[in-house]
Amino acid sequence: MSERSYASRYANAGVEWITLGLIVACYLAWGAALFWLPSVSLTGAVIMTGVLVAFHASLTHEVLHGHPFRSKPLNEATMFLPLNLMIPYNRFRDTHLDHHRDAVLTDPYDDPESNFLDPVVWNKMCLVQSVLYRVNNTLLGRVLIGPAIGQACFTIGDLKAMGRGDGEVIKAWALHVPGAAIVIWIVLQSAMPLWAYLISAYIGLGLLKIRTFLEHRAHERSRARTVIIEDRGPLAWLFLYNSLHVVHHMHPGAPWYALPKLYRENKARYLACNEAYVYRSYGEIFRQYLFRAKDPVPHPLWPHG
């Protein structure tokens, strides 16, 4: 089967039972981590819940791309409970779909998921800000303080948008608050203290930063900005093979379980497309970048004013 026909095959498929099963399993495991596991080990429950928060985010990514149902309302109903408490589904959906405009990938303004700053903005930062951003550009820093920096910037931006009367942002938060309140209510009924759940939510967001750390690089050609990480281990599964990121960007409608086969059968084409921006494993990435930055904070190809 050709690459085109293999990818398009899923666009007209019925219910994707594998993904639906994972969604159900995620919620069931989340309930077990809240109500049963703390009596065995609170530390284990916190870690397990953090992993499930990250996994739920990976499933949310599948949902916003049209899985497991063909019905958008039905898909979005499965993600009504925001396990991470912090990111409204509608905002994640809208900003992520904006991110899929490959021509503006890494743009400090037009790519909502860019990790680069405008050099002019960078040069105006105070010492404390610049130090935090430099630390944030190491993998360890991205995991430890990246969620706090990212959430602060995201929330401030949304508050400004709501102040301007942006109806879509207001709607997103209006839908988010009841879902987050339900999550908090469930936690309060469980054996896990709320403070412990908040730590879990932060762990989940930190795990996601491993995936996004070097997904895109600054490059003159937009097609060469998106990475391939060939890892087939636990992190690849946690991220539902979004680690094969250029495959996902070229076939955003293909479900997660189609990506490894697409890559395996067309590897040369993908690596030619992204000019061999590839890592063999997450272990390789940890060894190279745990304590040092891969990229500068200011966009290296951006005008410096």
Q: Is the confidence at residue 1, as pLDDT, over 50?
A: no
Which string of DSSP letters, residue by residue, matches 181-246?
HHHHHHHHHSSS-HHHHHHHHHHHHHHHHHHHTTSB---SSGGGSB-EE---SHHHHHTTTTTSHH
CA distance 211 to 288: 15
**Packed helices 89-99 and 42-64: angle between N→C axes, nearest 10 degrees:** 60
> What is residue 158's DSSP assignment?
H
Q: Tell whether pTM > 0.85.
A: yes
- Domain extent listing, the chain: 3-219
Q: What confidence tens digit (pLDDT) does each residue in 6-41 have?
A: 555 655 568 999 999 999 999 999 999 999 999 999
CA distance 99 to 114: 8
Q: Report the chain's mean pLDDT, rounded to a whole number.
A: 95
CA distance 147 to 122: 19
Share of the chain above pLDDT 70, in %: 95
**Residues 282 and 231 sit within 8 Å (Cβ to Cβ):** yes
138 three-class SS: strand
Residue that is written with structure tokens 């730590």 in the block: 199
Largest Cα span, the chain? 58
**Residues 54 and 204 sit within 8 Å (Cβ to Cβ):** yes
Q: Which pLDDT score, from 0 to 100, does residue 9 have?
A: 61
The predicted model gives 36-47 an average pLDDT of 98
Q: Is the confidence at residue 175, as pLDDT, over 80?
A: yes
